[in-house]
């Protein structure tokens, strides 16, 4: 069995499963957020009853992150709906925007968009917050009401996005009927050259198989090259499995995984025991591809879909209006460090926005020093508009007052994960996806630029 099949077999209580089997799978974690949580709660109450209790309160994680720093009253209300539900059910894992469990969330526009407006428990973008808060464990099943839930496959678990109705069912029943997906095998070899990042790996793979090349399938990333990737890098790769239509992306378990997961579970006092899955000798794959990481170059996915692959070096004629670094995919500490490495001591030519995925990343950037300055200050001095209000922000457009949202038909290069028409706001705007390093180099020139031009 493949890694995905082994996890699904275990979670459905079967000795073996194979691609195409329909199995009832027990959930280890159900995650939801402010955009789909209220609807999921609505389905749960409608179907299981107004006084029903969730199947296991320790297995539900609620992370408001999407439409937080907006004056939109319905969006503010949605965070309050989550809080009411958490109080009623006694759920321990709710990363609220405010500290008062009986309060109401209201974004104060007079304080501006850049300065922090959240309490001590707020965790930021759900997919980045889940591992930081110790909710991703090898061998487990994670369901989330968000397509990028597949990011947690970086931790050797089965993680996939589901809709509100399915999530409402899981909330009450703790399980879900799934079809076992066939596995596509991506064997990674070698090491990335300077200027190349994990984003380039996944954009390369999606370009190879196409925007729907993994529909109904699992994407397994392994091999020597995968073992050399950092946890952040694995998260970036797994995150975008959905951009090829994949059901999940998954990595092998190793010492890096163990160290990260053990530390994070301990830090937040979450469940610390887990059982990883290892590769079998008899894995059957529906597709195989070898990726030599040493041959990859800075890669871009052009408007209007993540499968429109080109090399950054061939795109210097593409003029840009703005640049954006942020989101689950591209807003991690390591992403901002590479962004800063290119921008250090220089000045951006176009409007450039930086949105760290989580408050912890804000803290990292505000405390990490390169010489006299913090990384945060280096970015601000380079002309980047950095906000402390960690969250999904303009990656998915959001309400019109969202930080960095394109409210005009502009062209943006972005370290985010999706670029269908209108994704970052105005429906005639265009998004080009690239690594934080490529976004940085492009911000310096105002056109798509290979970051290797700026490596000393």
Partner 1 sequence: MQSVFTGPVYVVRDNIDTDQIISAQYLNLVPTIQEEYKKLGSYALAGLPDSLYPTRYVKEGQMESNYPIVIGGRNFGCGSSREHAPIALGAAKCRIVLAESFARIFFRNCVATGELYPCECADRLCDVLKTGDVVTVDLDKATVTVKETGKVYSFKALGDVRPVVDAGGLFNYARKTGMMPAST
The footprint of partner 1 (CB under 8 A) covers 35-36, 38-39, 41-43, 46-49, 52, 66-67, 72, 74-75, 78, 81, 145-147, 149, 161-166, 169, 211-212, 215-216, 245, 247, 304-305, 396-400, 418, 420-423, 427-428
CB of residue 161 vs partner 1: minimum separation in angstroms? 4
Instruction: Give the C-alpha separation, 181 to 183, whole Å.
Output: 6
Phi, psi torsion values for 224, nearest 5 degrees: -55, -40
Instruction: Give the C-alpha separation, 432 to 332, whole Å.
Output: 19
CB of residue 399 vs partner 1: minimum separation in angstroms? 6
Closer residue to partner 1 in complex, CB, 298/306: 306
Closer residue to partner 1 in complex, CB, 274/324: 324
Closer residue to partner 1 in complex, CB, 211/336: 211
Entry field: residues in the chain: 456
Closer residue to partner 1 in complex, CB, 70/333: 70
DSSP 192: P
The secondary structure element, H or E, covering residue 355 is: strand 351-355
CB of residue 402 vs partner 1: minimum separation in angstroms? 8
Q: What is the CA radius of gyration of the chain?
A: 21
Judge residue 84's burial from the number of C-beta atoms within 10 Å of its C-beta, 0-12 exposed, 13-18 middle, 19 or more buried.
middle
CB of residue 406 vs partner 1: minimum separation in angstroms? 12
| Six-digit token string for 305 | 């879909």
Other CB atoms closer than 10 Å to residue 10's CB: what's the count?
A: 20
Other CB atoms closer than 10 Å to residue 103's CB: what's the count?
A: 13
Maximum Cα interatomic distance, the chain, rounded to a whole number of Å: 63
Closer residue to partner 1 in complex, CB, 52/311: 52
DSSP 425: B
Closer residue to partner 1 in complex, CB, 169/454: 169
CB of residue 251 vs partner 1: minimum separation in angstroms? 21
Selection from 195, 235, 234 nearest residue 357 by Cα: 235
| Six-digit token string for 301 | 């996915």
CB of residue 319 vs partner 1: minimum separation in angstroms? 19
Closer residue to partner 1 in complex, CB, 66/135: 66
Closer residue to partner 1 in complex, CB, 31/123: 31
Closer residue to partner 1 in complex, CB, 74/272: 74
CB of residue 368 vs partner 1: minimum separation in angstroms? 32
Closer residue to partner 1 in complex, CB, 164/329: 164
CB of residue 383 vs partner 1: minimum separation in angstroms? 27
Angle between helices 231-239 and 333-343 (to 10 degrees): 100
DSSP line for 32-89: E-TTTHHHHHHHHHHHH-TT---S-GGGEEE---SS-SS--HHHHHHHHHHHHHHHHH
Structural contact between residues 5 and 18, judged by C-beta atoms closer than 8 angstroms = yes
CB of residue 396 vs partner 1: minimum separation in angstroms? 4
Residues in contact with 67: Cβ distance below 8 Å, sequence separation at least 6, in sequence order:
34, 35, 75, 78, 392, 398, 399, 402
Selection from 36, 116, 121 nearest residue 81 by Cα: 36
Closer residue to partner 1 in complex, CB, 305/338: 305
The backbone region for 422, taken as left when phi is positive above 0, alpha when psi lies in -120 to 50, beta otherwise, is left
The secondary structure element, H or E, covering residue 436 is: helix 436-445
| Six-digit token string for 135 | 């909710």
Structural contact between residues 126 and 235, judged by C-beta atoms closer than 8 angstroms = no
CB of residue 135 vs partner 1: minimum separation in angstroms? 18
CB of residue 34 vs partner 1: minimum separation in angstroms? 9
């Amino acid at each position: 069995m493949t890694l995905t099949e082994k996890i699904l077999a275990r979670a459905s209580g079967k000795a073996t499963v194979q691609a195409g089997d329909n199995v009832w799978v027990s959930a280890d974690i159900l995650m939801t957020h402010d955009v789909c949580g209220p609807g999921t709660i609505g389905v749960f109450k409608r179907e299981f009853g107004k006084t029903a209790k969730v199947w296991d309160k320790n297995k539900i994680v609620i992370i408001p992150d999407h439409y937080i720093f907006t004056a939109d009253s319905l969006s503010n209300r949605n965070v309050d709906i989550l809080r009411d539900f958490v109080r009623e059910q006694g759920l321990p894992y709710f990363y609220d925007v405010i500290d008062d469990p009986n309060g109401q969330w209201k974004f104060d526009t007079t304080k501006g968009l850049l300065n922090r407006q959240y309490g001590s428990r707020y965790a930021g973008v759900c997919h980045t917050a889940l591992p930081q808060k110790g909710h991703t464990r090898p061998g487990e099943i994670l369901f989330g009401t968000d397509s990028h839930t597949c990011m947690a496959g970086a931790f050797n678990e089965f993680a996939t996005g589901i809709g509100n109705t399915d999530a409402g069912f899981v909330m009450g029943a703790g399980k879900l009927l799934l079809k076992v997906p066939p596995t596509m095998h991506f064997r990674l070899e070698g090491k990335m050259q300077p200027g190349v990042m994990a984003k380039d790996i996944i954009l390369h793979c999606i370009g190879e198989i196409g925007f729907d090349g993994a529909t109904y399938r699992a994407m397994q990333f392994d091999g020597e090259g995968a073992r050399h990737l950092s946890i952040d890098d694995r998260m970036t790769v797994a995150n975008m499995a959905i951009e090829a239509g994949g059901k999940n992306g998954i990595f092998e378990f190793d010492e890096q995984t163990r160290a990260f997961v053990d530390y994070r579970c301990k830090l937040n006092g979450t469940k610390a025991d887990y059982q990883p899955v290892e590769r079998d000798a008899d894995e059957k794959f529906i597709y195989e591809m070898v990726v030599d990481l040493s041959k990859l170059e800075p890669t871009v996915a052009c408007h209007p879909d993540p499968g429109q692959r080109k090399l950054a070096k061939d795109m210097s004629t593409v003029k840009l209006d703005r640049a954006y670094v942020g989101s689950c995919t591209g807003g991690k500490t390591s992403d901002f460090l590479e962004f800063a490495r290119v921008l250090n001591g220089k000045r951006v030519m176009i409007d450039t926005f930086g949105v760290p995925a989580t408050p912890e990343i804000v803290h990292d950037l505000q405390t990490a020093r390169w010489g006299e300055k913090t990384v945060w200050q280096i970015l601000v001095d380079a002309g980047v508009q950095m906000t402390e209000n960690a969250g999904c922000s303009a990656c998915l457009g959001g309400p019109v007052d969202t930080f960095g949202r394109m409210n005009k038909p502009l062209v943006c290069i972005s370290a985010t994960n999706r670029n269908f028409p209108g994704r970052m706001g105005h429906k005639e705007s265009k998004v080009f996806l690239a690594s934080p390093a490529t976004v940085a180099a492009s911000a310096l020139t105002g056109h798509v630029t290979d970051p290797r031009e700026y490596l000393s």
